[in-house]
Amino acid sequence: MGEEMELVLDKYISAGRILSEVREGAIELVKEGGSLLAVAEFVENGIREKGGEPAFPCNISRNEEAAHATPSIDDKAVFGADLVKIDIGVHIDGYIGDSAVTVDLSGNNEGLVRASEAALNEAIKLIRDGISTVEIGEVIENTIREQGYKPVVNLSGHGLVRYNSHAPPSIPNVKYEHGVILKENDIVAIEPFATDGAGKVVESGNAEIYSLIKAKPVRVIEAKKLLEELKKYQGLPFARRWLPRERLDLALRTLKNTGALREYPVLREEEKGLVSQAEHTVIVKKDGCEVTTG
Ligand code: CO
């Protein structure tokens, strides 16, 4: 292996190690009456203290929400008897680890939690140089269906490349037609979602997460300042609550109007079914794979 490749893989591995430490700490904080904002801040500050950067805002999605929920500024929400998905991204120098876990605070959804975990484990067992993403999607779908649930068809695993938290290939959670062959040293995130609903997510509610997609010149001074501030994320998603508060609405609205921002509205299950998620990032190896976020 080239020296440069080795350095890059080391960064992926370090990002993954930081991620698993903060994830374990976060799980302890997810309990009834606990604050969602406190969990998000624990995760994001913990990542920075350990020498990484959040690759995206800590997602805390509950019950029928599958992804892209994150606390707002001064959010007062607390956990109830919820099914809680914590999805965390860490990067070092742009090299990302992405991992999620489901915490069942009601104690009634063990089977649903197990379905996405089992699907993730079965997928990880298959991954090696030469595997097709079609086979991965098939084992995920079959495992979830065997447990009596449905995979979410329009959420997928994905590749990871420097400063891109959702790079090709897409790795669907169902069997599909045209796959991609994974090769040694590819970095991919596998993230099965299982549900007792329709098996599909739809957009709902306002976005708290954005990314900068096109930096177009703006005249409004607040927007200009915000645009400069946002460049440091290098295209990775950020939370509204991370931004300077002064005249934030105006600045964000102006940037949105120029088409500079991508918004990430909350994704919820179409029939409001419960959703569980399990996710790890892996490095594809000749005869298997290395889980960086384990
Ligand atoms: Co992911």
pLDDT in tens, 41-89: 999 999 999 999 999 999 999 999 999 999 999 999 999 999 999 999 9
Cα 192 versus chain centre, distance:
11
Regarding whether 212 and 198 lie in a shared domain, the answer is: no
Regarding whether 223 and 125 lie in a shared domain, the answer is: no
**What is the Å distance from ligand 1's center to 157 Cα?**
6
**What is the Å distance from ligand 1's center to 151 Cα?**
15
Regarding whether 73 and 215 lie in a shared domain, the answer is: no
The set of residues, in sequence order, having a beta carbon less than 8 Å from that of 249 and lying 6+ positions away, is none
In the numeric block, which tokens belong to residue 168? 């090709």
What pLDDT was estimated at residue 76? 98
Regarding whether 233 and 163 lie in a shared domain, the answer is: no
Regarding whether 175 and 50 lie in a shared domain, the answer is: yes
pTM tops 0.75, yes or no: yes
| CB-CB contact of 184 with 284 (8 Å) | yes
- What distance, in Å, lies between the first and last C-alpha atoms of the chain? 23
Regarding whether 261 and 126 lie in a shared domain, the answer is: no
Whichever domain contains 229, its CATH number is: 1.10.10.10
**What is the Å distance from ligand 1's center to 41 Cα?**
19
DSSP 3-state of 289: strand
Regarding whether 244 and 136 lie in a shared domain, the answer is: no
What pLDDT was estimated at residue 172? 95
What pLDDT was estimated at residue 206? 86
**What is the Å distance from ligand 1's center to 225 Cα?**
30
What pLDDT was estimated at residue 1? 72
Whichever domain contains 106, its CATH number is: 3.90.230.10
Domain hosting 157: range is 3-203+270-291
The set of residues, in sequence order, having a beta carbon less than 8 Å from that of 116 and lying 6+ positions away, is 102, 144, 192, 193, 194, 276, 277, 278
Name residues with Cβ closer than 5 Å to ligand 1, which is an ion: 98, 189, 191
In the numeric block, which tokens belong to residue 291? 């889980």
What pLDDT was estimated at residue 2? 83
**What is the Å distance from ligand 1's center to 209 Cα?**
15
In the numeric block, which tokens belong to residue 57? 């805002």
Regarding whether 240 and 152 lie in a shared domain, the answer is: no
In the numeric block, which tokens belong to residue 58? 């800590």
Regarding whether 43 and 73 lie in a shared domain, the answer is: yes
**What is the Å distance from ligand 1's center to 98 Cα?**
5
Q: Which residues of the chain have pLDDT under 70?
A: none
Regarding whether 111 and 95 lie in a shared domain, the answer is: yes
Regarding whether 279 and 144 lie in a shared domain, the answer is: yes
In the numeric block, which tokens belong to residue 70? 């994150």
What pLDDT was estimated at residue 20? 98
Three-class DSSP labels, 155-214:
CEEEEEECCEEEEEEEEECCCCCCCCECCCCCEEEECCEEECCCCCEEEECCCCEEEECC
**What is the Å distance from ligand 1's center to 109 Cα?**
22
DSSP 30: -
**Domain count across the chain:** 2
**What is the Å distance from ligand 1's center to 224 Cα?**
31
In the numeric block, which tokens belong to residue 264? 């990430």
The set of residues, in sequence order, having a beta carbon less than 8 Å from that of 175 and lying 6+ positions away, is 134, 137, 138, 141, 142
- Residues annotated as catalytic are 87, 98, 158, 166, 191, 279
**Residue 227 to residues 58, 69, 98: CA-CA distances in angstroms?**
22, 23, 26
Regarding whether 163 and 23 lie in a shared domain, the answer is: yes
**How does 101-139 read in b/e, with b if 16+ C-beta sit within 10 Å?**
bbbbbeeebeebbbbbbbbbebbbebbebebebbebbbb
